[in-house]
Amino acid sequence: MPQQSVVTKNRVVPLEKIRNVGIIAHIDSGKTTTTERILFYTGRTYKIGDIDEGTTQMDWMPQERERGITIVAAATTTFWKGMRINIIDTPGHVDFTAEVERSLRILDGGVVVFDAEEGVQSQSETVWRQADKYKVPRICFINKMDKLGANFDATVKEIEERLGAKPAVMVYPIGKEQEFKGAVDLLEMKALIWDDKDSQGTKYTITEKIPADIKEKVIQARAKLIEKIAETDDSLLNKYLNNEEISVAELKKTLRKAVIDYKLIPVYAGTSLRNKGVQPVLDAIVDYLPSPADLKEIKAVNPKTGKEESRKLINEEKFSALAFKIQLDPHVGKLTYTRIYSGTLESGSYVYNVTRNKKERVSRVLIMHANQREEIDKAYAGEIVALVGPKDSKTGDTLADPEGPIILERITFPDPVISLAIEPKTKADQEKLSYTLQRLAEEDPTFRVKINHETGQTIMSGMGELHLEILVDRMRREMGMQVNTGKPQVAYKETITRLAEGEGKYIKQTGGHGQYGHCLIKIEPLSRGSGFKFINKIKGASIPSEFIPPVEKGIIEAMEKGILVGYPMTDLQAALYDGSYHDVDSSDIAFKIAGSMALQDAAKKAGLSLIEPIMKLEVTVPENFMGVVIGDISAKRGKILGTEKRSRAVVIKAYVPLADMSGYATVIRSLTEGRGFFYMEPSHYEEVPRNIIQSMISK
Ligand code: GDP
């Protein structure tokens, strides 16, 4: 690694010159290829004459791809025309909320890649809606223009109709499929034609000569674009309506504002694989996507006062940052990726993890650049860096200056709702299995691993069937771990519905040293999501204080095993109020057993019940399928919350028990002739109907 590379030397730029962007796409539409090309062109342009580094970078990437590892780190820095572009890796699979949410949370802008033949695919729709939620300005790149069946206009139309977006079509493609040559830049009215003989796509001609066969259409397309831009700004609209000349610079400036205000989405065309059309997308990132300076400030909460505060996104403010990803790196250990919102951070300093109320030492600060990582002394506002040193910081935590603690809007991660048993194909791999699972769990806050002590089984749990499927697939592909899995199980929980008392007495006197533990407890229900609370109400010396923690432990153990069906208990409080002991025979273990017995005794009288995860479901279907879909949701014990009309579709919102949603993708496909799609996320827990509990018990 060079002493100080171009990245470190040139990384400190004014805020206006920073772009924090993510490349978002439906799987297989070309996100990896496009990212790779972006890194190539930006690296090449910067390091003129430094072909060696360029080629190594190219060589390195296919290798990484063969090994099935994501080609870039969670964030990578690159430069284009004096601007610094930080590319944040967004998950390839967006079927689980948390992954997407955390990357969208820290992006300032997004590049959405589409397959010109496939058009708008379901995954793009899902991310699109999340990007709407987080108000992320976007540009679109319609990729694979070389592919048979590529259809630029149809894809634009889908972006408009299915995504409800207002596209600003910036280019007119020249040729298509095998004949795709380039595109006309509609603002500049210049044709960009790539040199077919140049295999790297760095050579292209820019000409004002628009091919005669498309000239008329190009003029029409330009008029449409100008009208769209003008409509976003009153003074420009006046000029437009009065047929006054509007300069390209003026159009660009207005368009930039419109993109940042979520009014327009610039659309480009190209083929990453054939190296055509990627550079204009880089220009668009610079021209139209916001810099941190455009965002000006971020809202946060002061944990001491509970009041809202804001931080200007500048170096001169107190330090604040959000940890958005944890990655275990084979070389440097645990990396905490953070986006710095305000202030600066020096290596060797301490930061305050406000979320966990912990001081953490930052021993090293790293800048990621494609396959390289470089150490820096100081990081600035707007930067995305990886920290070495923090031990306890997790995804979603706020790191701040101890003198000015704030909590940035949290990324909330719900509890897992589904689980399955997993075991290695060969016994010898047991240790590797726990290591692999632990690694995945460190990186993914919604994935948990547990050993069932009764059966010895390893249980993994997550946010949905697909989530677990993908994790198992990653274990196979990325970590070479062969496993067998059981059937997915819904994560039911047991709880109580009324107050009750219980007694636990454990006495054993079979010669020699005996056992004696005795306790009386009172349990009562707590509100949903409260978990467990233990209260010690022992007055006097009926139980010596050293035996109190064992009683609590015994209660917790009994709760974990469950009583009604065998699911863990939750949302209850247990108060220990009396008991007795024996001078010689009492022990920790005896009181633990007594605690367990007391809980079991009390729970049986406390109106045991079962609660189940309820999913928030959103189904988007053409209107004529609305009836069948609603009927099906009702048959699944679902509760329709409402329907919303979109341009050509209806969105049905509902709560549905997860237990009835297994294989829903197939159900929706067959109900709607493949035209419906859905988005589902865990919402809350609700009591399972009595008749269903009965049948579960009898099983
Ligand atoms: P990702 O899953 O979105 O990261 O997509 P990849 O970049 O891995 O690409 C998926 C597949 O599409 C690969 O086989 C690529 O070679 C291919 N691909 C990517 N870009 C293009 C393109 O512009 N044209 C064609 N025909 N294929 C492409």
State whether CATH 3.30.230.10 applies to domain 494-606.
yes
Tell the CATH topology of 418-490.
Answer: Alpha-Beta Plaits (3.30.70)
What are 434's two structure tokens? 């726990």
Give the closest residue to 116 by CA, choosing from 161, 172, 156, 169.
156
Instruction: Report the pLDDT value the prediction gives residue 674, as an integer from 0 to 100.
Output: 85
What does the alpha-carbon distance between residue 581 and residue 588 come to, in Å, rounded to a whole number?
11
Taking 70 as the pLDDT cut, the residues of the chain under it are: 1-8, 44-74, 91-100, 122-123, 370-371, 411-414, 646-648
Give the closest residue to 91 by CA, choosing from 59, 62, 127, 120.
127
Cβ contacts of 549 within 8 Å, gap of 6 or more: none
Same fold for the pair 2-294 and 297-400 = no
Centre of ligand 1 to C-alpha 29, Å, is: 6
Centre of ligand 1 to C-alpha 273, Å, is: 7
DSSP lists the bridge partners of residue 586 as: 516
Phi, psi for 204 (deg, rounded to 5) = -150, 155
What are 491's two structure tokens? 């994560």
To test ligand 1's pocket by mutation, which of 87, 148, 273 has the most ligand atoms within 8 angstroms of CB?
Answer: 273
Residue with tokens 């995504």: 163
Is the CA virtual torsion 540, 546, 548, 551 positive or negative?
negative
Centre of ligand 1 to C-alpha 75, Å, is: 21
Task: Identify the residue whose C-alpha is closest to ligand 1 atom 14.
Answer: 28
3-state secondary structure of 204: strand
The closest-lying atom of ligand 1 relative to the alpha carbon of residue 25 is: 3
pLDDT digits 0-9 by tens, 531-566: 899 999 998 889 999 999 999 999 999 999 999 998
Residue 84 has a CB neighbour count (10 Å cut-off) of: 24
Domain ranges of the chain: 2-294, 297-400, 418-490, 494-606, 612-698
The 3-state secondary structure of 144-192 reads: CCCCCCCCHHHHHHHHHHCCCCCEEECEEEECCHHHCCEEEECCCCEEE
Largest CA distance in the chain: 107
For 2-294, which CATH class?
A: alpha beta
Contact present, 180 and 193 (Cβ < 8 Å)? no
| Residue 196: exposure state from Cβ atoms within 10 A (0-12, 13-18, ≥19) | exposed
| Residue 414: exposure state from Cβ atoms within 10 A (0-12, 13-18, ≥19) | middle
| Residue 645: exposure state from Cβ atoms within 10 A (0-12, 13-18, ≥19) | exposed
Residue 234 has a CB neighbour count (10 Å cut-off) of: 9
DSSP lists the bridge partners of residue 567 as: none
Instruction: Report the pLDDT value the prediction gives residue 123, as an integer from 0 to 100.
Output: 67
State whether CATH 3.40.190.10 applies to domain 297-400.
no
Centre of ligand 1 to C-alpha 143, Å, is: 9
Phi, psi for 283 (deg, rounded to 5) = -60, -40
Centre of ligand 1 to C-alpha 483, Å, is: 29
What does the alpha-carbon distance between residue 609 and residue 687 come to, in Å, rounded to a whole number?
7
Relative to beta strand 109-115, strand 18-25 is parallel
The closest-lying atom of ligand 1 relative to the alpha carbon of residue 26 is: 3
Quote the crossing angle between the two packed helices 122-133 and 97-106, to the nearest 10°: 50
Which helix (H) or strand (E) covers residue 504, if one does? strand 500-508
What are 357's two structure tokens? 């109320």
Instruction: Report the pLDDT value the prediction gives residue 682, as an integer from 0 to 100.
Output: 77
What does the alpha-carbon distance between residue 125 and residue 618 come to, in Å, rounded to a whole number?
12
The closest-lying atom of ligand 1 relative to the alpha carbon of residue 143 is: 23
Contact present, 670 and 514 (Cβ < 8 Å)? no
Instruction: Report the pLDDT value the prediction gives residue 128, as an integer from 0 to 100.
Output: 87
Cβ contacts of 179 within 8 Å, gap of 6 or more: none
What does the alpha-carbon distance between residue 70 and residue 64 come to, in Å, rounded to a whole number?
7
What are 129's two structure tokens? 């809606």
CA 150 to chain centre: 30
- The DSSP annotation for 113-152 comes to EEETTTBS-HHHHHHHHHHHHTT--EEEEEE-TTSTT--H
To test ligand 1's pocket by mutation, which of 23, 27, 33 has the most ligand atoms within 8 angstroms of CB?
Answer: 33
Centre of ligand 1 to C-alpha 440, Å, is: 27
Give the closest residue to 171 by CA, choosing from 229, 228, 222, 120.
222
Instruction: Report the pLDDT value the prediction gives residue 56, as an integer from 0 to 100.
Output: 34
Give the closest residue to 371 by CA, choosing from 80, 71, 3.
71
Contact present, 538 and 610 (Cβ < 8 Å)? no
The closest-lying atom of ligand 1 relative to the alpha carbon of residue 36 is: 7
Centre of ligand 1 to C-alpha 114, Å, is: 10
CA 19 to chain centre: 20
Phi, psi for 478 (deg, rounded to 5) = -90, -30
Residue with tokens 């054939």: 274
What does the alpha-carbon distance between residue 584 and residue 206 come to, in Å, rounded to a whole number?
95
Residue with tokens 């498309």: 214
The closest-lying atom of ligand 1 relative to the alpha carbon of residue 270 is: 23
Contact present, 475 and 667 (Cβ < 8 Å)? no
Which helix (H) or strand (E) covers residue 493, if one does? strand 493-496
Centre of ligand 1 to C-alpha 110, Å, is: 19
Instruction: Report the pLDDT value the prediction gives residue 229, as an integer from 0 to 100.
Output: 97
Task: Identify the residue whose C-alpha is closest to ligand 1 atom 9.
Answer: 30
Q: Where does residue 648 fall: left (phi above 0), alpha (psi -120 to 50 degrees), or beta otherwise? A: alpha
What does the alpha-carbon distance between residue 629 and residue 440 come to, in Å, rounded to a whole number?
36
Task: Identify the residue whose C-alpha is closest to ligand 1 atom 17.
Answer: 30
Q: Which residues are annotated as a binding site?
A: 25-32, 89-93, 143-146
State whether CATH 3.30.70.240 applies to domain 612-698.
yes
The closest-lying atom of ligand 1 relative to the alpha carbon of residue 27 is: 2
- The DSSP annotation for 18-63 comes to EEEEEEEE-TTSSHHHHHHHHHHHHHHHHSTT-HHHHHHHHHHHHH
Centre of ligand 1 to C-alpha 115, Å, is: 9
The closest-lying atom of ligand 1 relative to the alpha carbon of residue 29 is: 3
Residue 296 has a CB neighbour count (10 Å cut-off) of: 12
Pocket of ligand 1 (CB under 6 A): 25, 27-33, 92, 143-144, 146-147, 271-274
Which helix (H) or strand (E) covers residue 273, if one does? none
The closest-lying atom of ligand 1 relative to the alpha carbon of residue 272 is: 23
Centre of ligand 1 to C-alpha 113, Å, is: 10
Give the closest residue to 211 by CA, choosing from 196, 178, 187, 189.
189
Task: Identify the residue whose C-alpha is closest to ligand 1 atom 10.
Answer: 28
Contact present, 493 and 570 (Cβ < 8 Å)? yes
Task: Identify the residue whose C-alpha is closest to ligand 1 atom 19.
Answer: 30
Give the Å distances, CA to CA, from 283 to 266, 280, 288: 12, 5, 8
Contact present, 594 and 543 (Cβ < 8 Å)? no
What length does the chain have? 699
What does the alpha-carbon distance between residue 661 and residue 638 come to, in Å, rounded to a whole number?
10
Q: Which residues are annotated as a binding site for GTP?
A: 25-32, 89-93, 143-146
